[in-house]
Chains A and B, each alone.
Chain A
């Protein structure tokens, strides 16, 4: 008998893992776990997993909530607006400045991203309603932060439960102050994860920026044939900047970044671009589809992780424009190729054959696979916190080998998968980081880039390669075992 195949091991792991659950939970979780094979036409989604369903109660899910999706992801990075966490104090505090949405500005004066504005609900606000307090919050913000270009109201759980009408407050105040004030009903109990929060936030962009009265001047920007917008890049560690530079080098004009380092004006300018470039499909496909329908702007998905995907994406984008852009695109690819060759020559020998298990959100569970594979690393497991079917369908095209797929994986399952499949690197979030480091496993946070980055684009890939080498080849992992401990 030969060695057990990867696929067989993965299937056995799933079977084993499900045994710990009570019957109902096992039945539920079974549908969220699977083994994906590249180019398997029979699979409807990667690994045939089911997704975007309610989390099993009582397990340690890594999921967040709708508020996290709206305030934390979509709206929070818009830098010249003030985002009020409307409700009790905790949500805004726990989510403050956690996502590393880089921006340029004078914080507290003309930009506000890393700050925490809260209406700090007290019991009387629950009993008597908080609309009056919200109105007063907006008035006080106007006095103390006169350079803000707008306000969003990010609802926490109680708002939708006590029957407050934040829409009415926003309407009155917007008229009074002649300013964009966006009520967002992203209460944490809505939907099953942060995903619905993205959708709700996208809809409010449509209603209050595209269809609303915007108080900033956009008339000074003349349109060109080469105008594009970066959609779904939150500029984590500067990702959008290291993407933007490539697009500009190939002759495009990036009019807006959504929403890392974004301003209200950029968002308002976007309905006039020629093409929307969508990086995080999950969180911003809604507004992209809307712009396509309403303004006839096509959108394409791209992937700037790792040179293989970056090159593919650059050409895909260039193909949309004229020959001058296509020519420059090839020049850009040629310009960076020696650097990329050198990076791969340096790091591939140190990383080749190392296996990786991922669990992240948004686009990364599929988009970063190529970057690892460019370094000779092998992704053997991946999954999303809050994906839908369309994400798992897209994942089919990005995997290279038999890959265990786990949707909304919880701490118990991830730990068990790692123990059974023994990857050389685990790449996920802060909540899981120290679990695996305790086991002596190299780990990288793939939400925050572990306080490094950017990872997008060519320059970002060099950092990515260096960071993965740092993690895998650090001497610290070898210290876990004391010299007096026996082998085995």
Chain B
């Protein structure tokens, strides 16, 4: 029974003898093997750690277990929230939207506005035109967004709804009451059964950039577009802007959700910050476009490079080398020297790397996440002399595996470094048991791996549900690399203390100074 002076929640309550008795007593009715035959559970648990299990596990062709990817519309919602006053609108069932909103909200600890047009069985039969007509009208009337960005769920894609025709029809029927003929409603088809959330990001970004700029091609301006990609680190967006601003150049960040998902307390406004729509409409006239995430912007950048003939290209400013390349690209595009501010920042980062290198050097890491994140983070590990033993990318697009392999081949430890494209986190579990590493870098889904294998987890990635505020920091630019260095080094030091804290057994190595 609770004691009023020391009320405990489930963490400690169920440890009490009366609850242990309840749980023990319940076992007689249970069919899970722990209740029936614990030795059998032990036997199978041991087997799952074996090479035999690993071979069977890695040979899977059909079932995905504990994925490290999500579906297209999630990325489309992120894009929409990076534009001024824009409501993400998902054409399909509202269950999907409840999921997208929960998922982002749990990560950012911030509200995530997004509507759906609540298609149900009759829409599955007759198509979702009626839903679209009513949905756009209601959305415009109630939330008064400056723009509505429409994406689709798999339901709408399977029945083959035509977004362009539907949007035109909705505007016509409304007759300008809520949806003026020039009301911006860009759209993108984002089928969940193709690619992953980064594909949806690409499709929606392509949709907004191509549709808002239609007919706006004019004089080219000395200005750089920056496309961040599926960036979940708010601080990264700010670091990137600060680097570009250091060059004193005119720029547009396309899809800047840094204010939307980082609202100050005091009052609630549904929309904050974002790329100005006037800027978005004019981005076609910039002289260059740089995408910070190659694999999340394949289609968008094809348009920018082939049709818009912009200079720029890809540059991934995560880690020292990545940031150097980004800075040099900006220097080249702007025709200016690298600003002294950045030179100093770089010097400080390198100084810190040289202070801390003994703790990362030679340490083995397992790491997973989105393809572009991995390119940057693995580069940083290599820059520190660490060994990325297992690099796993569940949503690896074409070309990623070869690029990652080439990176790993620059390491002296290359023969023990592995790339796992298209594998899930249940595969990772086998890899960690059979070829163990010192640390893991990944999202909250690594938590169960940490529990099962005992490998310490450094939380870097998306989603992160069970650690607070990490997303507010940067992992991009020199300051971002310093954050990576700090997080990783200090986790190594925490673990060193953990491993040496045994009183009168190992605590000779429990040094005060490290």
By a beta-carbon cutoff of 8 Å, the part of chain A in contact with chain B is 20-22, 24-25, 54-68, 79-80, 84, 87-96, 98, 102, 104-111, 114-123, 125-126, 133-134, 136-137, 139-141, 143-144, 146-147, 149, 156-158, 160-162, 188-192, 194, 216-217, 221, 237-238, 241-242, 244-245, 248, 254-257, 261, 263-266, 269, 335-336, 339, 342-343, 346, 410-412, 415, 429-440, 452-454, 458-459, 462-463, 465-467, 479-481
Residue in B56, B70, B89 whose Cβ sees the most chain A Cβ within 10 Å: B70
B45 touches A109 (CB 8 A): yes
Closest 8 CB pairs of A and B: A65-B95, A90-B71, A58-B135, A265-B31, A57-B135, A94-B99, A58-B138, A88-B192
Q: Which residues of A contact B140 (CB under 8 A)?
A: 58
Q: Bound state CA distance, A239 and B117, in angstroms?
A: 35
A431 touches B102 (CB 8 A): yes
B31 touches A459 (CB 8 A): no
B10 touches A453 (CB 8 A): yes
A60 touches B113 (CB 8 A): yes
A435 touches B10 (CB 8 A): no
Q: Which residues of A contact B410 (CB under 8 A)?
A: none
Interface size on B, residues (CB 8 A): 110
A362 → chain B closest CB, angstroms: 15
A34 → chain B closest CB, angstroms: 20
Stretch at the interface among B1-9, B305-313, B396-404, B504-512: B1-9
Q: Which residues of B contact A119 (CB under 8 A)?
A: 62-64
Cross-chain pair count, CB within 8 angstroms: 362
B153 touches A157 (CB 8 A): yes
A76 → chain B closest CB, angstroms: 14
Residue of B nearest to A485 (CB): B266
A118 touches B64 (CB 8 A): yes
A61 touches B94 (CB 8 A): yes
Stretch at the interface among B103-111, B326-334, B369-377, B412-420: B103-111
A109 touches B14 (CB 8 A): no
From A63, A109, A263, A339, contact of B98 by CB (8 A): A63
Q: A79-B32, A248-B22 are in contact. Are A21 and B142 (CB under 8 A)?
A: yes
Q: Bound state CA distance, A456 and B406, in angstroms?
A: 56
Q: A144-B60, A188-B96 are in contact. Are A58 and B117 (CB under 8 A)?
A: yes
From A80, A92, A109, A188, contact of B31 by CB (8 A): A80
A136 touches B452 (CB 8 A): no
Contact residues, B119-143 vs A (CB, 8 A)? 119-121, 123-124, 131-132, 134-143
A-B contact pairs, 17 of them (CB 8 A): A58-B134, A59-B139, A60-B114, A90-B71, A107-B448, A108-B48, A108-B429, A119-B63, A241-B22, A339-B1, A410-B142, A411-B113, A430-B105, A434-B109, A454-B9, A454-B10, A458-B1
A338 → chain B closest CB, angstroms: 9
A120 touches B48 (CB 8 A): no
B467 → chain A closest CB, angstroms: 13
Q: A22-B137, A25-B134, A108-B48 are in contact. Are A438 and B64 (CB under 8 A)?
A: no
A189 touches B10 (CB 8 A): no
Q: Which residues of B contact A126 (CB under 8 A)?
A: 158, 193
Q: Which residues of A contact B8 (CB under 8 A)?
A: 463
Residue of B nearest to A102 (CB): B10
Q: A94-B102, A140-B62, A339-B4 are in contact. Are A56 and B193 (CB under 8 A)?
A: no
Q: Does B73 contact A (CB under 8 A)?
A: yes
